């Protein structure tokens, strides 16, 4: 055991030295080179001393991996930056899949309850198979439960473990046991290259609607597909970009999409203490796809990072009208890095600034038209919890398959007598349950008041006037600063 410790101790030393090597080299060129090198050597020595002492003297045997992960997490946490974090193998794989936009897998969109009970085991539920993937070709359907993967009971493992078993090397197989109502059967799925579907689009009357869930390497190409599809329509009144609940992704993807709407000037700037991280991204007039047309961007409190880059660029250049809620406010840029053991980390290297040189970090972007969903009262929240606990909606829908909209509305009225909730909300719950075993709806005009407001902005015919009255991010910042002075 001591031999193992010794070799791991050496490995830790090498790891720390490799992390700090470039920093030490850069500092050696400065006037304070000797002092900095001495400090680095001193602190690395202290880290080594503590590691060795714990291994030799702690009351219980310590797994070296626990100390290794703790050291990495601690260093990054010390930066007091929520976006600079250590990621284990599972977390690193997930972020790699997101940014690359594709991965080896079986093509099933899935969900899993966080808690498991004897009556309701936390099996994996199929939300939707992705078209033309192994899962879809095997006949797996929305609403099916994956109860075992290669013989492992899925109710006993985490979602990360599930993903780790379903994803993997292209060409290798995995066996899933499916439960469909009372029938159980196995399917052998051969993993293939799966593209992460980040863009969905369609028409709402004469308006093109694009929903972006994140920004990956493939997102801009699919946005182009949407625009090309809209251009084939006889009449196109405008375009709605839905960035709600979009937490971001690749800066380059946001820039490429912004370039389709902005014909000149700056899209975004990044500023850092590292010279090569300082960049200015300009629009290319030859790449502009949408001109002289109303564009509305939908945002909410979960629209962040790359979503705010795109939103800020369209706002500062007066190319789009914003509807919804104030965005999250993440104005920094992270670079993900893999480690030799297939773990990884991401670290903030720069902050980004809008075309008019505004950083929205911890501020967010305010919409031109604020549309808020009503907040639940404590009583309504309890009613919702009671409704979910009673499980009356799933039970009713199971015995009333393929409910129509009039039937959904009628059942909502019936539920209203027992549960004091808005009928529109009850209709949404019923509609979601009805659609649980079908492809997801692109939009829900019955419930989505923000989307309805965006449609109204385009259809009311005074878009140019509205745009002249909008405020840029620089205007908003000046207002915020003035308000602070008054306080």
pLDDT digits (tens, 9 = 90+) for 142-193: 889 999 999 999 999 988 789 889 998 899 999 999 998 888 989 999 999 8
Question: What's residue 15's pLDDT?
Answer: 39
Fold that domain 102-195 belongs to in CATH: Pdz3 Domain (2.30.42)
Triad 420, 422, 424: Cα angle to 5°: 145
Within its chain, how far is the Cα of 340 from the centroid?
26
**What's the N-to-C CA distance of the chain in angstroms?**
64
Higher model confidence: residue 354 or residue 161? 354
Confidence of residue 24 (pLDDT cuts 50, 70, 90): very low
Mean pLDDT within 362-382: 94
Calculate ∠ Cα 332-100-75, nearest 5°.
45
Per-chain mean pLDDT for the chain: 88
Identify the residue with better confidence: 9 or 286: 286
pLDDT tens-digit readout, 389-422:
898 998 999 899 889 999 999 999 999 999 999 9
Torsion of CA 206, 211, 215, 217, to 10 degrees: -60
Summarize the confidence of residues 335-346 as an average pLDDT. 87
Q: Which fold has domain 199-334+346-368?
A: 2-enoyl-CoA Hydratase; Chain A, domain 1 (3.90.226)
pLDDT digits (tens, 9 = 90+) for 70-81: 999 999 999 999
- Span 442-463, pLDDT tens digits: 999 999 999 999 999 999 999 9
The residue whose two tokens read 């909730």 is: 421
pLDDT at 439 over 90: no
CA dihedral 367, 373, 379, 380 (to 10 degrees): -150
Average pLDDT over residues 368-380: 93
Its pTM surpasses 0.75? yes
pLDDT on residue 422 = 94
Residue 445's pLDDT is 96
Whether residue 32 is predicted with pLDDT greater than 70 in this model: the reply is no
419 Cβ contact list (under 8 Å, min separation 6): 383, 384, 386, 387, 426
At residue 408, the pLDDT reads: 96
Residue 446's pLDDT is 95
Which two tokens mark 248? 């971001």
Q: What is the pLDDT of residue 33?
A: 65
pLDDT at 310: 98
Tens-place pLDDT, residues 319-333: 999 999 999 999 999
Task: Name the 3-class secondary structure at 293.
Answer: coil
Which run of H or E residues covers position 5? helix 2-28
Q: Which residues are part of the catalytic machinery?
A: 305, 316, 330
Q: Kindly state the percentage of the chain with pLDDT values over 70.
A: 91
Going by C-alpha positions, the residue among 408, 456, 454, 417 that lies closest to residue 435 is 408
Residue 160 host element (H or E):
helix 159-166
Going by pLDDT thresholds of 50, 70 and 90, the confidence category of residue 101 is: low
pLDDT at 1: 41
Determine the number of helices (DSSP H) and then strands (DSSP E) in the chain: 16, 19
pLDDT grade, residue 30 (50/70/90)?
A: low
pLDDT band at 36 (very low <50, low <70, confident <90, very high): confident
100 pLDDT higher than 90: no
Give the confidence band of 4 by pLDDT, cuts at 50, 70, 90.
Answer: very low
Answer yes or no: is pLDDT of 384 > 70: yes
Q: What percent of the chain has pLDDT over 90?
A: 65
The residue among 65 and 90 whose pLDDT is bigger is: 65
């Amino acid at each position: 055991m001591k031999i193992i410790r010794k070799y791991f101790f050496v490995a830790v030393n090498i790891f720390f030295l490799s992390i700090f090597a470039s920093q030490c080299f850069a500092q050696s060129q400065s006037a304070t080179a000797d002092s900095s090198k001495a400090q680095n050597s001193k602190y690395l020595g202290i880290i080594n001393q503590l590691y060795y002492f714990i291994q030799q003297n702690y009351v219980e045997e310590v797994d070296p991996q626990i100390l290794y992960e703790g050291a990495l997490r601690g260093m990054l946490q010390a930066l007091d930056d929520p976006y600079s974090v250590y990621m284990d193998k599972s977390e690193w794989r997930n972020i790699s899949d997101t940014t690359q936009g594709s991965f080896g897998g079986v093509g099933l969109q899935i969900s899993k309850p966080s808690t498991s009970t004897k009556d309701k085991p936390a099996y994996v539920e199929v939300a939707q198979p992705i078209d033309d993937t192994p899962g879809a070709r095997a006949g797996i359907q929305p609403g099916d439960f994956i109860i075992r993967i290669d013989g492992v009971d899925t109710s006993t493992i985490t979602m990360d473990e599930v993903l780790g078993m379903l994803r993997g090397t292209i060409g290798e197989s995995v066996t899933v046991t499916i439960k469909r109502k009372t029938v159980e059967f196995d399917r052998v799925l051969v993993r293939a290259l799966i593209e992460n579907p980040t863009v969905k689009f369609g028409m709402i009357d004469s308006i093109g609607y694009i929903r972006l869930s994140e920004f990956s390497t493939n997102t801009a190409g699919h946005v182009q597909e949407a625009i090309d599809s809209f251009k084939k329509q006889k009449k196109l009144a405008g375009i709605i970009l839905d960035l709600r609940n979009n937490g971001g992704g690749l800066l380059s993807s946001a820039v490429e999409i912004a370039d389709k709407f902005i014909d000149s000037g700056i899209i975004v700037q990044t500023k850092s203490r590292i010279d090569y991280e300082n960049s200015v991204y300009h629009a290319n007039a030859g790449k502009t796809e949408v001109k002289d047309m109303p564009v509305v961007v939908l945002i909410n409190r979960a629209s962040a990072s790359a979503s705010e880059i795109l939103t800020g660029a369209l706002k500062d250049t007066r190319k789009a009208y914003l509807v919804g809620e104030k965005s999250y406010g993440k104005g920094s840029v992270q670079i993900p890095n893999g480690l030799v053991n297939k773990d990884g980390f991401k670290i903030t290297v720069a902050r980004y600034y809008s075309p008019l040189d505004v950083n929205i970090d911890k501020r967010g972007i305010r919409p031109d038209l604020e549309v808020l969903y009503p907040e639940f009262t404590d009583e309504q929240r309890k009613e919702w919890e009671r409704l979910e606990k009673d499980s009356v909606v799933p039970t009713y829908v199971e015995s009333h398959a393929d409910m129509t909209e009039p039937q959904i509305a009628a059942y909502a009225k019936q539920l209203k007598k027992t549960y004091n909730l808005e009928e529109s909300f009850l209709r949404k719950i019923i509609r979601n349950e009805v659609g649980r075993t079908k492809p997801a709806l692109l939009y829900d005009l019955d419930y989505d008041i923000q989307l309805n407001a965006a449609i109204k902005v385009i259809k009311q015919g005074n878009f140019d006037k509205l745009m002249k009255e909008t405020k840029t991010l620089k205007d908003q910042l000046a207002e915020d600063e003035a308000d602070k002075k008054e306080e």
